[in-house]
Amino acid sequence: MSETTATEEAFNNLFIKACRDQQSGSLDAAASGYMELLESFPQAPVLHYNIGLVYYEQGSFQQACAAFSRAAELNPADGDILFNLALSLKKNGDVEGAIVSFSEVLRLDPISIDTLYNLAGCYRETDRHQTAVQTYLKVLSLEPEHKSATNNLAYMYHYLGENEKAAHYYTKVLEYNPDHQAARHMLTALSGSGAESAPESYIAGVFDDYSTKYEQSLVTELKYTVPEQLRSTFDTLNQGRHFEHGLDLGCGTGLSGQPFVDIVGRFDGIDLSENMLQLAEEKDIYHTLHQDNIISFLNKTTDIFDFYIAADVFGYVGDLQEVFALLRERAGQTGLFCFSTEKLEDGEYTLRQTGRFAHSVKYIEHLAAATGWMLLNRQDQPIRKERDSWIEGSLWFLSTVRRPS
């Protein structure tokens, strides 16, 4: 065997081993093998492409972008390279770059369904709503039963206020998956049918998906300041008061608990969304975090709380009877309960077409008195933006009523 043949065989064996390491999940070994090969073959697009896949799987999206970019320079007509470059750019936060790369894939293959679907998601993420709608429709023209595109199209039409079209596509989602709780809840909201609360799977799913951009969206885009408004009113009503044990109901990322952390000795939080709880844990606000619903948690706990906060939580719960009663049961004799609601003029509560509940002042006042709470203060004011208008709401402060011995 000649020296050249032996060298070629060694390189071939190293490439095969790197590929096998990649397939078996030994990613560091695979990366090491590809890097060694790149020293000898720096112009080989397949090596840059494969190591890009390794970096992507490792979550090293910046390195993945660099690898796929180099592979694309060397082989600009390879749609797979461009597609994975687009995915990496989006993961790295460069959505505009992803749009360019996905568009280039479509120039090579105009009917690539995966590319169209991912491009629609980029348009949706950058608020190009009508373009996103048209792109999802293009996906469905090529694959009429594309379930994810159908679901996203229903959401887009709902967001844009085209409720008849939204209902049509939510109905399609339920035809494909009768157990799709989010679609059923939204269809209920659009139809005006009664409901007592939003499904847990719907709430958890919404906020798991929303978690990374939750605070930016809520505070910057929707002008949401309810926690700060509650704290400001608290300072007016309860100057200098401190609490031993607080519970943040639907704590999310900790946005609601943060303004009160200095007046609560031990602060616990509960939420349905695992992703939101992970972000809350990083803030060092809470002593303990629980992934649970409010009623389940209160039925299980033996703790006594003297402070509750529920900011923008009851938009997902219509009938508050059991919640108020359980909170009072776990509040002892000196509890304070502050929360917000979306305002309803007539009736008790209703599920709006947004998928959130609104409650009337009379309903909350009656329920508070019936479950052992005393009204300390109520302020009616806008609580956040919805498209181009403000949602009217109420900020509430209730105190426990001392029960006869």
pTM for the full model? Answer: 0.82
At 1 the pLDDT is 39
At 213 the pLDDT is 73
Query: Is pLDDT of 83 > 50?
Result: yes
Asked whether 95 and 125 are in contact (CB, 8 A), the reply is yes
pLDDT digits (tens, 9 = 90+) for 322-346: 999 999 999 978 899 999 999 999 9
- Measured at the CA of 20, the angle between CA 15 and CA 25, to 5 degrees, comes to 130
Query: Is pLDDT of 403 > 60?
Result: no
pLDDT digits (tens, 9 = 90+) for 213-252: 777 777 777 788 899 999 999 999 876 789 999 999 999 9
Query: Is pLDDT of 404 > 70?
Result: no
Q: Report percent pLDDT > 90 for the chain.
A: 80
At 405 the pLDDT is 45
Give the per-residue SS3 of 260-286: HHHHEEEEEEEECCHHHHHHHHCCCCC
pLDDT digits (tens, 9 = 90+) for 367-386: 999 999 999 999 999 988 88
Query: Is pLDDT of 402 > 80?
Result: no
Domain with CATH 3.40.50.150 in the chain: 209-400
**What's the pLDDT band for 363 if we cut at 50, 70, 90?**
very high
* Backbone phi and psi for residue 304, each to the nearest 5 degrees, phi listed first: -110, 135
Burial class (CB in 10 A: 0-12, 13-18, 19+), 155: buried
Is the CATH number 1.25.40.10 carried by domain 3-191? yes
Amino acid in position 356 = R
The kind and range of the H/E element at 25 are none
- Measured at the CA of 128, the angle between CA 70 and CA 140, to 5 degrees, comes to 85
pLDDT, mean of residues 154-173: 94
CATH of 209-400, one of 2.30.30.40, 3.40.50.10240, 2.60.40.1180, 3.40.50.150: 3.40.50.150
Query: Is pLDDT of 255 > 70?
Result: yes
Query: Is pLDDT of 2 > 50?
Result: no
At 202 the pLDDT is 84
**What's the pLDDT band for 271 if we cut at 50, 70, 90?**
very high
Q: Report percent pLDDT > 70 for the chain.
A: 96
pLDDT digits (tens, 9 = 90+) for 304-317: 999 999 999 999 99
Burial class (CB in 10 A: 0-12, 13-18, 19+), 67: buried
- Measured at the CA of 359, the angle between CA 387 and CA 390, to 5 degrees, comes to 20
At 10 the pLDDT is 81
- Mean pLDDT, all residues of the chain: 92
Query: Is pLDDT of 279 > 60?
Result: yes
- Which two structure tokens, joined as six digits, stand for 70? 């180099």
At 5 the pLDDT is 52
d(CA 197, CA 200): 9
What SS3 class is residue 109?
Answer: coil
